[in-house]
């Protein structure tokens, strides 16, 4: 069992962007976050987002490029995306999607209800990063997604029960 001394707390997600100040301002307007910090050099910015901080830093800076390597090129076509997706949950997904687009996000996919119990829409930020705008996932019960509940009677085979249910639904 791990002790609390080495138990991690998820602290930051760092997004590498072309212009930190513009990205911080964009995320504040488009997604409704308050700016926690933007340093004077504009090489680091943070948004208030609950327990985890969303941070922004330039694509290239000598402090990290030399230590951990350069950030992969962000030159992509419309059909390609970064190996990162930023996801935000909202009570009103349609309103959040509209707000994002009105504030400079590029619409990728309008919000729609998904079979797993979540409403989801996608936009791209000013650096082309895909942002998922969704609701919290509702309890997903795959056996009820087709309009019927599966109840197993131990005395009868399951397949004839399902055939009876589905044939009644078609009538």
Count of domains observed in the chain:
3
58 and 101 belong to one structural domain: no
- Measure the N-to-C terminal CA separation of the chain; round to a whole number of Å: 57
Question: Which pLDDT score, from 0 to 100, does residue 108 have?
Answer: 95
Question: Which pLDDT score, from 0 to 100, does residue 87 have?
Answer: 92
90 and 107 belong to one structural domain: yes
60 and 113 belong to one structural domain: no
Mean pLDDT, consecutive 10-residue segments, the chain of 171 residues?
Answer: 70 90 97 95 92 84 68 65 83 97 97 94 93 86 46 42 45 47
120 and 160 belong to one structural domain: no
Of 71, 102, 121, which residue constitutes the final position of a domain? 71
Question: Which pLDDT score, from 0 to 100, does residue 51 have?
Answer: 83
14 and 67 belong to one structural domain: yes
Question: Which pLDDT score, from 0 to 100, does residue 21 have?
Answer: 97
Question: Which pLDDT score, from 0 to 100, does residue 3 have?
Answer: 62
Of 24, 44, 71, which residue constitutes the final position of a domain? 71
Supply the CATH number for residue 61's domain. 3.10.180.10
Alpha carbons 100 and 33: distance in angstroms, whole number: 12
Alpha carbons 86 and 57: distance in angstroms, whole number: 15
Alpha carbons 38 and 136: distance in angstroms, whole number: 30
Of 47, 71, 95, which residue constitutes the final position of a domain? 71
What range defines the domain where residue 64 resides?
1-71
Cβ-count burial 5-16 (b if 16+ within 10 Å, e if not): eeeeeeeeeebb
19 and 58 belong to one structural domain: yes
129 and 168 belong to one structural domain: no
136 and 156 belong to one structural domain: no
Global pTM value: 0.70
Residues 6+ positions from 126 with CB-CB distance below 8 Å: 17, 22, 23, 26, 104, 105
85 and 116 belong to one structural domain: yes
User: Residue 86 pairs with which residues in a beta bridge?
Assistant: 131
């Amino acid at each position: 069992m791990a002790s609390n001394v080495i138990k991690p707390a998820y602290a930051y997600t760092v997004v590498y962007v072309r212009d930190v100040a513009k990205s911080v301002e964009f995320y504040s307007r488009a997604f409704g976050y308050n700016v926690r910090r933007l340093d004077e050099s504009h090489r680091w910015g943070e948004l208030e987002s609950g327990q985890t901080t969303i941070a922004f830093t330039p694509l290239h800076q000598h402090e990290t490029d030399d230590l951990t390597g350069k950030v992969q090129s962000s030159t992509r076509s419309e059909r390609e995306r970064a190996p990162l997706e930023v996801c935000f949950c909202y009570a009103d997904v349609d309103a959040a999607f509209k707000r994002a687009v009105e504030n400079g996000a590029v619409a990728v996919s309008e919000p729609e209800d998904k079979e797993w119990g979540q409403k989801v829409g996608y936009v791209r930020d000013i650096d082309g990063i895909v942002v998922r705008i969704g609701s919290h996932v509702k309890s997903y019960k795959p056996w009820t997604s087709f309009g019927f509940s599966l109840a197993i009677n131990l005395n009868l085979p399951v397949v004839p029960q399902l055939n009876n249910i589905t044939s009644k639904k078609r009538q």
